[in-house]
Amino acid sequence: MAEAIPVSLTRTDSGWQLLRDGEPYFIRGAGGSESLPELVAAGGNSIRTWDAEGIDTLLDDAHSLGLTVAVGIWLGHERHGFDYDDPKQVADQFARAKRLVEQHKDHPAVLLWGVGNEMEGFDQGDNPRIWTAVNEVAAMIKEIDPHHPTMTVTTFVHGERVDWVHHKLPAIDIHGINAYGGAPAVPQFLADGDATKPYLLSEFGPQGTWEVGKTDWGAAIEPTSTEKAQQYQRHYDAAIGSQTGKALGGYAFVWGNKVEGTPTWFGMWLRDGARLASVDVMQSIWRGEPPANPAPAVTPLSLDGLDKVDPGELIEVTVEASDDDALRAQWSISYDTLDNMTGGDYRPLWPALEDAIIVSELERAEIRVPDIPGPYRIFYTVYDEAGGAATANVPILVKGKPRTPMPFPVYDDGFEAMPWVPSGWMGDTAKLSVDGESTEQVYSGQHSIRMRLEGPFGWAGVAWQHPANNWGTQDGGFDLTGATALEFWARGEYGGEKIGYGVGIIGKDQNFPDSAVVKREGVTLTREWQRYRVPLKRADLSEIRTGFFITLEGRRTPITVYLDQIRYVQ
């Protein structure tokens, strides 16, 4: 039977210190659950999760590698629709947190409990009901698990956050702070707020999409991977390394790859497993020595001419790359949604446009920009022979009235290639499960969507929304003018399953409605793949915030439905 390794906080003459099994423990951590052997090799000793649901195997894997886990307990966000004025929602959340703590508290990999992550929002963080809920969960944890400290994680340290966490939440032991470009200012904010508790950087990394300059059409200017590595070092030194007795360590973000802003903004690794310079920097910090073969270095991309170009124009892009090894380069261009929102919500991975790269060289490319006006981004990745890589990109604008290129995907081959987010769950959602990377039945590619409704009877469904959880309270969506239909492929497990589907769901009574609402109901599936269409030739597609929705009609026994290749076509 698993047995907890006790963790505690102590205060010495030199300040706060975390003790694990009675020994000093300084957190050399990273956020994420990928490439864990590589984390150990780089000198890391801990990982952080944002929730505790389904982490059994992760805890076992971490422990086998000698890693600890800062286990997150997700608390609802108001911007996602959670209502802290609703006693039932708060009670259900409390009960869920208790279940998860009781489930995992005795695992030896557990280091501490992270009660919520940015649940207070991005503004002043002054809603007392949120903080009351945080403290109630933390107090419950301390009662049933006296062996691990509690932490709550805030969106930086502005507004009322320091006052609440350090002076009004007695059940919270540690202040977790998510800080990127603003990390050097954290110690001063804490001093100004008369902070009394130890802290750690629960997320730190390069400047965020909200902290950099933008083009005049709103595209964020992304630093190169070389520049980001330097930022990891500076931010660590200012907010962790120089704060002995106050900072307990930190978690670099993100040890893996995450699509947020762009496919390369926050990931310390590429999707193909290549290592970026930010990993090398963290190894130098954690081990005191750099890797034997560092990742390549790159300069920002340089355009031969203006960043606003005519449709179909041929442009030249140059860069400088350096490394001790032989290098190979990869160039691409893809659509840019200008979606620079913060908060870690799902972001789409846009496919590279085919046949756009006319000349591809190590430090130079000639690119034929699309004929369709709108914002795009040119990406450059260079690889060495030892698994290292470097990245750079530059936004461009193809002049003219922006139009969305067709075909335009809702779902292609996995949940990481969607402009809309399947966040709008409806009906008997407790009976519904959705797997966006099913391999059981596939029409095209390697994955399909598998939806299962347990029943009996009732109904449930999912709406694909932009931004996530948008029921008409937020701007967003896409202009799909020119599309004549939405089409998708579907089949039932046995045949006879009934579905409804359509485009648009937000009515004119909301601040930000869908410009078109078109739906079909009572459609019966077969057990063979069939194509289904939503005709849109005469619909106003200028503001589609709900790109697709589907509902499943329950029956006495469970039903399973498969979907694939959902897209808008001309």
List, for residues 149-191, the tens digit of each pLDDT value: 999 999 999 999 999 999 999 999 999 999 999 999 999 999 9
pLDDT at 1 over 60: no
pLDDT at 60 over 70: yes
pLDDT (tens digit per residue) in 431-444: 999 998 899 999 99
Host H or E run for residue 563: strand 559-569
Nearest to 388 by CA among 320, 300, 301, 297: 297
Q: What band does 82 get if pLDDT is binned at 50, 70 and 90?
A: confident
Taking the CB of residue 3, how many other CB atoms lie within 10 A of it?
9
- Quick one: average pLDDT of 482-491? 96
For 407-418, b where at least 16 C-beta lie within 10 A, e where not — what string?
A: ebbbbbbbbbbb
Question: What's the token pair of residue 480?
Answer: 């799909």
Nearest to 155 by CA among 130, 179, 184: 179
CA-based torsion, 229, 202, 83, 163: positive or negative: negative
- Quick one: average pLDDT of 282-299? 96
pLDDT at 226: 98
pLDDT at 365 over 90: yes
pLDDT at 348: 58
- The whole-angstrom separation of Cα 157 and Cα 162 is 6
Nearest to 390 by CA among 321, 338, 342, 439: 321
Taking the CB of residue 553, how many other CB atoms lie within 10 A of it?
21
pLDDT at 261 over 90: no
% of residues, the chain, pLDDT over 70: 97
Q: Are 367 and 315 in contact (CB under 8 A)?
A: yes
pLDDT at 468: 84
In the DSSP assignment, the letter for residue 124 is -
- pTM attached to this predicted model: 0.81
pLDDT at 419: 81
- Quick one: average pLDDT of 41-58? 96
Tell me the β-bridge partners of 491: 562
Q: What band does 421 get if pLDDT is binned at 50, 70 and 90?
A: confident
pLDDT (tens digit per residue) in 293-329: 999 999 999 998 889 999 999 999 999 999 999 999 9
Q: What band does 403 get if pLDDT is binned at 50, 70 and 90?
A: confident
Question: What's the token pair of residue 262?
Answer: 């762009």
In the DSSP assignment, the letter for residue 533 is E
Q: What band does 338 get if pLDDT is binned at 50, 70 and 90?
A: confident
pLDDT at 339 over 90: no
pLDDT at 467: 85
User: Range with the lowest mean pLDDT among 173-182, 325-334, 363-372, 410-419?
Assistant: 410-419
pLDDT at 352: 86
Mean pLDDT of the residues in the chain = 94
- Quick one: average pLDDT of 39-58? 96
∠32-33-35 over CA atoms, to 5°? Answer: 105
- The whole-angstrom separation of Cα 105 and Cα 437 is 31
Question: In which residue are the tokens 């967003």 written?
Answer: 476
Instruction: Report which of residues 258 and 156 the model is more confident about.
Output: 156
pLDDT (tens digit per residue) in 112-131: 999 999 999 988 899 999 99
pLDDT at 23 over 70: yes
Q: Are 435 and 462 in contact (CB under 8 A)?
A: no
Amino acid at 361: E
pLDDT at 343: 59
In the DSSP assignment, the letter for residue 436 is E
pLDDT at 344 over 90: no
pLDDT at 111 over 90: yes
pLDDT at 380: 98
pLDDT at 456: 87
pLDDT at 305: 85
Q: Are 478 and 547 in contact (CB under 8 A)?
A: yes
Count of helix runs (H) and strand runs (E) in the chain: 8, 32
Tell me the β-bridge partners of 309: 398
Question: What's the token pair of residue 426?
Answer: 């409806």
Question: In which residue are the tokens 């489930």 written?
Answer: 103
pLDDT at 455: 79
pLDDT (tens digit per residue) in 504-528: 999 999 999 999 999 999 999 999 9
Q: What's the distance, CA 466 to chain centroid?
A: 15
DSSP 325-391: S--EEEEEEEE-------SS-----PPPPTT-EEEE-SSEEEEE--SS-EEEEEEEEEE-TTSBEEE
